[in-house]
Amino acid sequence: MLAAELALAGVACRVLEKRDHQANITRAFGIGPRTLELLDARDLAQNLIPNGNKIPQGQFGARAGFELTVIDSRFNYMLIVPQSGTEKMLEEHCRELGVPIERGAQVEGLTPSAMTA
């Protein structure tokens, strides 16, 4: 998402990813309202919503829970989708903006330099 935002701002960039394949694992399976609003600002939420389950409220054990129907948002729910699908969608978005994504490329060091226009 950051790479895409940089590209939209006219900053040349590329993504270096040490894994040589697209991961099939999910950690971030729940996408919250504010994230959906930010994705929607780039017309991206519509790519995820049809493939997900909308969960407006939930309970974690006896003491913790959430109730999102009361918030002032079009996206007043958690969207449950596999993280691999979200990453695939963001990767496609980057490619459309001309941001190269290089897999099997591990960053081993960084050297700060002055910004150039």
- Nearest approach, Cβ of 11 to ligand FAD (angstroms)? 18
- Nearest approach, Cβ of 107 to ligand FAD (angstroms)? 4
Q: What are phi and psi of 96, to 5 degrees?
A: -60, -30
Q: Considering CB under 6 A, how many residues would be counted as binding ligand FAD?
A: 10
DSSP class per residue in 85-97: HHHHHHHHHHHHT
Q: In this structure, are residues 90 and 7 in contact, taking their beta carbons and an 8 Å threshold?
A: no
Among 106, 111, 113, 116, binds ligand FAD (CB under 6 A): 106
Site for ligand FAD, residues 10 to 69, rule: CB under 6 A? 16-19, 27-30
Question: H helices within 33-100, ranges in order?
Answer: 33-41, 45-48, 83-96
Residues contributing to the site for ligand FAD (CB under 6 A)? 16-19, 27-30, 106-107
